[in-house]
Amino acid sequence: MTPAAATLVSPGRQALDSALLQLDQAADRLHLDDGLRTMLATPRRSLTVSVPVRREDGRMDVVQGFRVQHNTTRGPAKGGIRFHPSTDIHEVTALAMWMTWKCALVGIPYGGAKGGVSVDPATLTTRELERVTRRYVNEILPIIGPDKDIPAPDVGTDEQTMAWIMDTYSVNAGYPVPGVVTGKPMTLGGSLGRAGATSRGVQIATLKAMSGSPEGRTVAVQGFGKVGAPAARYLADAGCRVVGVSDATGAVVNHSGLDVADLRAWVEETGGVYGYRHADALSHEDLLELDVDVLVPAALEGAITAENASRIRARLIVEGANGPTTPEADRILADAGITVVPDILANAGGVIVSYLEWVQNLQACSWSAKEVDTRLRDLMEESFDAVAAMSAERGLSLRQAAHVIGVGRVAEAHRMRGLYP
Ligand code: GLU
């Protein structure tokens, strides 16, 4: 493909191509027949909506919204909602497919879904954001529900967004329905431990993947946001030395180790890591290529590509983001002997605690932070061990092994249910 042609393929389409390729390879290893492959490659339900939004100056804008339910064989569809200007139906489909394998891999009774609204939340006032959220939820209302499809936070959304979703759904139902969405504030039935769950899971996966003590191991985090910033703190708490981090505003490095709490305070104050006093500035590319023990990509898809993979010097990559490594980059990293803990395993902590939140909502009860954390740790560790065992047994990378397990469980569930009519 010429460079000009390459630019015509949207990042979302590239993510979907990666997801389909991973599925195809797992299906080959599982000897799945063509019918089942096609079923697994195709979302069960895919909804595109137009979301009209009244701006503060009275104008009306229309943005696109999506909700894709990739699979519901093992349980209700589950997955976050992303607010990002470049989100499209292809990206949301890829992310929904990854949710299906993730939930199956960690053994929670859900299918996979994802939602997205092609909007930049930073350009909206809080009231505009609330209007976009409520109108989008209204448009997808017929297909979501605590037994059907349960949204959660993702890039650009947070617990306030989830509170508006819970309210919009409940007002329409005529009674409160906390179990329609996870990642809610504590006052509305949120779970202790949900806010930091993805990051805590990244920490657990990193410690499992490291041979030996974490003490003094160096870490770089790409994306010092909702997942990356707490992950940096958890890894520092475990004894690692976090030397470099980046976000949209820039990248900073301090080889003696960054004070993660102080850096977070700086980000709170200034809006980003750029200009942080106790570190040197570096480029986004250089951050990814730092000579560290662990690299945690925790931003968007397609961060590690065929173009930069050969310059990565980390020994271990733990994917906090969904789809940060392209299949071509995966091959280059494998040839270089770099271990990659794949997204569907490494960042599963979020949906695991979402599941625990939903169970608490359905039972109208609330568990202690310790209880939630123990369940999270057990599920992460068991899933990691299963992936590592499959990888060793069949000579596969951790990603290939994770997909064989995840896809295999969904395929098995399809076979047991049979085809109706
Ligand atoms: N958005 C998160 C993910 O990609 C969490 C999904 C959820 O909790 O449903 O895994």
What pLDDT, on a 0 to 100 scale, did the predictor assign at position 9?
87
d(CA 84, CA 156): 6
Whether 114 is catalytic: yes
**pLDDT (tens digit per residue) in 163-198:** 999 999 999 999 999 999 999 999 999 999 999 999
Decide: 353 and 192 in contact? Cβ < 8 Å.
Answer: no
Instruction: Please check the confidence at residue 74 and state whether its pLDDT lies above 50.
Output: yes
> How much distance in Å is there from the Cα of 152 to the middle of ligand 1?
6
List, for residues 254-290, the tens digit of each pLDDT value: 999 999 999 999 999 999 999 999 999 999 999 999 9
- Using alpha carbons, select from 70, 81, 154, 140 the residue that is nearest to residue 112: 70
The answer to whether 43-180 and 197-346 have equal CATH topology is yes
pLDDT for res 1? 45
DSSP 150-174: EEEE-TT--HHHHHHHHHHHHHHHT
Residue 2: predicted pLDDT? 47
Which position among 114, 184, 208, 226 bears the catalytic label?
114
The confidence band for 211, taking pLDDT boundaries of 50, 70 and 90, is: confident
Ligand 1 centroid – CA 351 distance (Å):
5
- pLDDT reading at 27 higher than 60: yes
pLDDT one-digit tens code per residue, 127-159: 999 999 999 999 999 999 999 999 999 999 999
* Chain segment 107-131, per-residue pLDDT in tens: 999 999 999 999 999 999 999 999 9
DSSP state of 325: B
Say whether 237 sits in a helix, a strand or coil: helix
Residue 3 pLDDT > 70: no
Residue 322 CA: nearest ligand 1 atom is: 4
Tell me how far the alpha carbon of residue 336 lies from the centroid of ligand 1, in angstroms. Answer: 30
Supply the mean pLDDT for the chain. Answer: 97
Interatomic CA distance for residues 391 and 364, integer angstroms:
40
Could you tell me if the CB of 361 is within 6 A of ligand 1? no
Task: State the sign of the Cα–Cα–Cα–Cα dihedral 287, 288, 292, 298.
Answer: positive
Output the CATH code of domain 43-180: 3.40.50.10860
Residue 351 Cβ < 6 Å to ligand 1: yes
Domain boundaries, the chain: 43-180, 197-346
Ligand 1 centre distance from Cα of residue 355 (Å): 10
pTM tops 0.75: yes
> Looking at residue 278, what is its pLDDT?
97
Question: Is pLDDT of 207 > 90?
Answer: yes
- The best mutation among 72, 154, 345 to test binding of ligand 1, ranked by most ligand atoms within 8 Å of the C-beta, falls on 154
* Per-residue pLDDT tens over the stretch 385-414: 999 999 999 999 999 999 999 999 999 999
Cα(200) to centroid(ligand 1), Å: 14
Q: Does domain 197-346 have CATH number 3.40.50.720?
A: yes
**Contact (CB, 8 A) for 113 and 149:** yes
Which one of 69, 81, 99 would you pick to mutate in the ligand 1 pocket, going by the greatest count of ligand atoms within 8 A of its CB? 99
Ligand 1 mean position, distance from CA 276 (Å) = 30
Which residue has the CA at smallest separation from atom 9 of ligand 1?
79
Of 92, 184, 344, 354, the one to substitute when testing ligand 1's pocket (max ligand atoms within 8 A of C-beta) is 354
- Which atom of ligand 1 is nearest the CA belonging to 353? 8
The model's confidence at residue 8, banded by pLDDT at 50, 70 and 90, is confident
Which of 212 and 100 is assigned the larger pLDDT? Answer: 100
Phi, psi (deg, nearest 5) at residue 294 = -130, 135
**Atom number of ligand 1 nearest to Cα 80:** 1
Closest ligand 1 atom to residue 150 Cα is 9
pLDDT of the residue at 7: 58
Give the pLDDT confidence of 361-378 residue by residue, as tens digits: 999 999 999 999 999 999
- Cβ of residue 156 lying under 6 Å from some atom of ligand 1: no
Instruction: State pLDDT tens for residues 293-307.
Output: 999 999 999 999 999
Which of ligand 1's atoms lies nearest the C-alpha of 351?
A: 8
